[in-house]
Amino acid sequence: MSRRELRPPVLSRRVLEWAGRRLQTPELADDAGELFVARAGNDGDRAARRWYRRQARASVGRVLFPRGAQIRWRGARARLRAAPGRWRRCAPRHTRLLEMIVHDLHQAQRSLTARPGWTVAVLLTLSLGIGASSAVYSVVDAVVLRPLPYEEPERLRVLTGWDVERQRELRPLELSYPAWEDLRHRQDVFERLGAYAPTWRVLTDGVTTEPVSAAVLSASMLQVLGVEPRLGRGFAPADDEPGAASVVILSHGAWQRRFAGDPQVLGRDILVNHEPHRIVGVMPEGFAFPDPTRELWLSLKTLPRGSGSFLTVVGRLAPDVTTERAAARLATLEIDDGGNRRITARTTSLQAHTVGDVDRLLFLLLGAVGVVLLIAAVNVGGLMMSRAISRRAEQRIRRALGASRAHLARAALVESALIAAAGSIGGLLLAVWFTDAMLSLRAETLPRQGEIGLHPRVLLFTGLAALGLALAAGIAPFLDSRGGSGGGRALTRARGSDGGRVSSLRRSAPVVAQIALTTVLLFGAGLLLRSLSEMLDLARGFERDGVVILQTRLPQERYPEHADKRALYDEIEERLTATPSVTSMALANRQPYLMMRVHQGVDVERASGESERAVVEVLVVSAGFFEALRVPVLEGRLLRPTEPQPAVVINRTMARTYWPEDTAIGKRIRSRIDPRRDDAPPATVVGIVADTRWGDLEPDPAPQVYFPYDHRHNGDMAAFLRVQPGATAEAIATTRELLRDIDPAIAVSELRTLDDRLARQIADPRFRSALLGTFAVMALVLTFFGIFGVVWYTVAASTRELGVRKALGAHPARLLRTVLRRAGGLALAGVSLGGIGAWWAAHLLEAYLFEVRPHDPWTFCAVAALVAATAIGAALPPAWRAARVDPMVVLDDS
């Protein structure tokens, strides 16, 4: 036997040492240790350990009850059952309280497991309410409420502009390099000013080239934020100078992903935009400035010095300068933005700037989930109350046997606490899962999402929510048990119609409130869902099935001219269409679904022969574009690969707007794509095609002009690949491989189906409607059980009355109708109240609606019908029970 392993259990030893100190018997632990060794020799290790633990437990009892009233858990309960009154009088006070609580806990557990259906209903309600609200709160807390993870974040301000003449705010204020330099030297309210510009770069690692999200930072920027790199250094003023060596700072994520967290990464060179940059620093985990997508930070050196840079300025207020004083000082400081506007600076907090307008949506969701929580509370209260009535006789017997009101209250409280504790655990598990689900719905566009998690404040929130629910649950039965006095009516049954008007109101008011709140939520969710379906159904004018979009970023120095790019695109097309998965390829200068329209001015020749300036949506497309996207031609012809004369195609809206009576074919349009070539020859309209909605979600199509892709266009083009049905994945893989083969320096910034692209465009609306829809469904389910519980309760409470009516000849169908009518009345009242609430709440959603009016009557009717059906459905089982009441119950024991 190895003596070394023979040690008493650590925790118990600590307990014994502690007890020894408290009892002033210092040798206790030593003695116990020696006896432990002796015991292990005789009875074996396990028995010795058990003995040791028993001794430790006994010592706790000694400390807690020094006067000798030993706490014997089981024995106490038995004694209590045998003679509660006598025992309570003779036991010391504190022993009594603890034993009572143990007793109550046991009692609670027994009574909960005795009614599994009821318990599951309560726990589910609690978990749903707590889980959903904790999840939403954890997002709100991380994104909106918690201060930014910088040093003294409340002193950080972002500059916005103020157009003095037009009295208009310019947000964001983006400064050119000279303006930034000028402002930096003239201001005196900030301790330090920093500037940044979000950008993107392509990163080459020898095998592949991919675009990465980056940001240019001034040397002072990290100091303004008060963040130190985890490895290496930040930018120094010397790095900003035009002749300085190219340096780069990595994000923690990029360091982990691309360099496997190699601590020797400093000093290595990486190819950024095909030029070597030296890695000088790695930022700590969680540094997400200006947003979490950034993988690299570059010095100001990389920006052009002239007017072509767009810097956002962040400042740290000097210690003695208030926001107001800063505003007053900045109002006198004019900024030279290169134009001829008079602009002064204003400031907004970095927090507000980072969060943007997502806070409104999040608070809206928090409100919605708060409603769910409220319904859950009402529901749990209702469930508790309905149980209280079924236990009324039991309570009366207990009171008759001498249980005080305080005792019964404590028992109820212990039971509520037990339920609340179990519900919170379920709720927390649900919250973790729910938060993940929420983030996956809106993974790309939510700011500060890296900070979301079960923060202590979230746990506090959960605790408070659970406490509120426990109180609601614990108090509800008392509203009911107030009437039951002492032993007088102890053993008689609950009286037939014991409620009367007041109690009936007390029971229906929560149900009506639930129905009303659910109606409001459902109406909101209905509006958002209708908007979403309008967006999806919006006739785009082109066929997106079976189309893959490919956006490349070409290295400018290898493909400087149109002819170089053209040759490359031709090669890609030739080789791709030779593969079995791709049938055709077309080009356009812009991707669809970019949430913006690019409007340009063109000169159109009206029927009268006059030239008129028109602002239209301009697209530059290759000849195969219309076939590839199945845009039908309505009149004339499509563009050809080579046009001898300048030619354009317009859409129907354009033709109707500018040539309403005459045909547009043969009319002339002069492009202003390149302002330096204003003398470009006017192009002739050769064809009219159907309208497409290429950019933003706008219900009305814009007038469009399609210019052919020719030597005047030297930008990167988006390619549209029409693929064989079912070969999408294969086409994407082939394309990626092919591009790497043609030129590894080509970065692919987008290669996905048009469907995926659309899904990203509607990510926000989908997020809103999915969440609000989920909450509304939760509310509906909870309300269903709420109505069910209350009607069941009412039926149970009026069994005698129903029995009498039946004995007097009432038809079962009539009783059924009576109960259903009552439920219908509740539903009507709830829906009416909810309608008023919905009318008001719809305005909150107005900004999120698309093609649906906030007071859409159809949505409201559908919601009202759904709620009414739910109410009737929930009332059916109890109504059925009412109809089948046995008249014998009246005779029974009355």
Partner 1 sequence: MGQGEHLGEFEALVLTAVIRVGQKANGMAVYQEIEERSGREASLPAIHVTLRRLEEKGLLASVVGDTSPRGGRPRRFYRPTPAGVRALREFRAMWRNVWKGLELPDPETLS
**At closest approach, how far in Å is the CB of 81 from partner 1?**
23
- Closer to partner 1 by CB, 9 or 172: give it: 9
- Give yes or no for residue 54 binding partner 1 (CB under 8 A): yes
The minimum distance between CB 414 and partner 1, in angstroms, equals 29
Output 52 or 593, the one with its CB closest to partner 1: 52
Per CB under 8 A, which region of 47-55, 76-84, 406-414, 492-500 contacts partner 1?
47-55
Burial 214-230, CB ≥16 within 10 A → b, else e: bbbbbbbbbbbbebebe
* Residue placing its CB nearer to partner 1 in the complex, 60 or 829: 60
Supply the minimum distance, in Å, between the C-beta of residue 23 and partner 1. Answer: 6
Classify 484 as helix, strand or coil.
Answer: coil
Binding region for partner 1 (CB under 8 A) out of 25-33, 356-364, 431-439, 885-893: 25-33
In degrees rounded to 5, what are phi and psi of residue 82? -70, -50
In angstroms, what is the minimal distance from the CB of 11 to partner 1? 16
As a residue count, the chain comes to 894
Of the pair 31, 275, the CB lying nearest partner 1 is at 31
What letter would DSSP give residue 447?
T
Mark residues 528-547: x for contact with partner 1 by CB under 8 A, - for none.
--------------------
Distance CA 884, CA 876 (A): 12
Task: Kindly state the smallest distance separating residue 6's Cβ from partner 1, in Å.
Answer: 13
Return all residues near 225 (Cβ < 8 A) that are at least 6 apart.
150, 151, 156, 194, 289, 314
# of chain residues touching partner 1 (CB under 8 A): 24
Of 11 and 245, the one with the shorter C-beta distance to partner 1 is: 11
Cβ closest to partner 1, residue 29 vs residue 521: 29
- Select the residue interacting with partner 1 from 11, 14, 21, 23 (CB under 8 A): 23
CA distance 33 to 52: 8
Measured distance CA(535)–CA(761) in Å, rounded: 10
Tokens at 654, concatenated: 């354009």
Q: Which is nearer to partner 1, 76 or 383 (CB)?
A: 76
Give the orientation angle of helix 763-797 with respect to helix 857-883, to 10 degrees: 30
| Contact pattern for partner 1 over residues 656 through 695, marking x by CB under 8 A | ----------------------------------------
Give the nearer residue to partner 1 in terms of CB position, either 16 or 221: 16
Contacts of 814 (CB under 8 A, 6+ apart): none
Q: Identify residues 57-96 at the interface with partner 1 (CB under 8 A).
A: 58-59, 61-62, 66
Dihedral sign, Cα of residue 252, residue 254, residue 258, residue 259:
negative
Site for partner 1 in 451-490 (CB under 8 A): none
Long-range interactions of 233-242: CB distance < 8 A, separation 24+: 233/280, 233/281, 234/281, 235/280, 235/297, 235/299, 235/300, 239/299, 239/300, 239/301, 240/299, 240/300, 240/301, 241/301, 242/301, 242/305
The distance of closest approach from Cβ of residue 65 to partner 1 in the complex, given in angstroms and rounded to an integer, is 11
Q: Is the Cβ–Cβ distance between 225 and 239 less than 8 Å?
A: no
CB of 96 to partner 1, least distance (A): 21
Options 21-29, 520-528, 564-572, 609-617: segment touching partner 1 (CB under 8 A): 21-29
Minimum Å gap between C-beta 79 and partner 1 is 19
Given the complex with partner 1, which of 55 and 870 has the nearer CB atom?
55
- Please report which helix (H) or strand (E) contains residue 459, including its range: helix 456-481
Between 35 and 409, name the residue whose CB sits nearer to partner 1. Answer: 35
State how far the Cα of 675 lies from the Cα of 45, in Å rounded to an integer: 93
Q: How far is the CB of 19 from partner 1 (least distance, A)?
A: 6
Q: Which is nearer to partner 1, 51 or 363 (CB)?
A: 51
User: What's the CA gap between 688 and 233, in Å, rounded?
Assistant: 59
Q: How far is the CB of 31 from partner 1 (least distance, A)?
A: 4
**Backbone dihedral angles phi then psi of residue 645, each to the nearest 5 degrees:** -110, 150
* Beta pairing class for 247-250 and 275-282: parallel
d(C-alpha 405, C-alpha 59), whole Å: 34
Interface with partner 1 (CB under 8 A), residue from 3, 5, 24, 206: 24
Give the long-range contacts of residues 407-410, CB within 8 A, separation 24 or more.
Answer: 407/100, 408/481, 409/478, 410/100, 410/101, 410/104
Nearer to partner 1, 73 or 858 (CB): 73
Q: Which stretch binds partner 1 (CB under 8 A): 18-26, 449-457, 508-516, 644-652?
A: 18-26
Among the listed ranges 16-24, 178-186, 550-558, 589-597, the one in contact with partner 1 (CB under 8 A) is 16-24
H/E stretch holding 599 reads strand 599-605
Distances (CA, A) of 708 to 378, 634, 705: 65, 18, 10
Which 8-state DSSP code applies to residue 680?
Answer: P
C-beta closer to partner 1: residue 72 or 482: 72
Residue with Cβ nearer partner 1 (63 or 439): 63
Contact criterion met (CB below 8 Å) for 515 and 826: yes
* Integer Cα distance of 821 and 825 in angstroms: 6
Comparing CB distances to partner 1, the nearer of 51 and 259 is 51
How near is the Cβ of 43 to partner 1 at its closest, in Å? 11
**Shorter beta-carbon distance to partner 1: residue 25 or 556:** 25
Shortest distance, position 15 Cβ to partner 1, whole Å: 10
Stretch of residues binding partner 1 (CB under 8 A), selected from 50-58, 350-358, 603-611, 744-752: 50-58
Helix (H, G, I), strand (E, B) or coil at 289: coil
Q: Find the shortest distance in angstroms from Cβ 54 to partner 1.
A: 7
Cα radius of gyration rounded to whole Å, the chain:
37
Q: Output the smallest distance, CB 415 to partner 1, in A.
A: 33
Residue 75 CB, nearest distance to partner 1 (Å)?
14
3-state secondary structure 750-793: EEEEHHHHHHHHCHHHHHHHHHHHHHHHHHHHHHHHHHHHHHHH
**Looking at the DSSP assignment, which residues form a beta bridge with residue 601?**
615
Taking the complex as a whole, the smallest distance from the CB of residue 50 to partner 1 amounts, in Å, to 10
Contact (Cβ atoms closer than 8 angstroms) between residue 362 and residue 353: no
User: From the list 18, 51, 87, 478, which residue makes contact with partner 1 (rule: CB under 8 A)?
Assistant: 51
- Rank residues 29 and 123 by Cβ distance to partner 1 and give the closer one: 29
Residue 55 Cβ vs partner 1, minimum distance, rounded to whole Å: 5
Stretch that binds partner 1, among 24-32, 455-463, 513-521, 813-821 (CB under 8 A): 24-32
Write out the binding residues for partner 1, residues 26-45 only, by CB under 8 A. Answer: 26-28, 30-35, 38
Check if the beta carbon of residue 723 is closer than 8 Å to that of residue 576. no
Give the interface with partner 1 as residue ranges (CB under 8 A): 16, 19-20, 23-28, 30-35, 38, 51, 54-55, 58-59, 61-62, 66
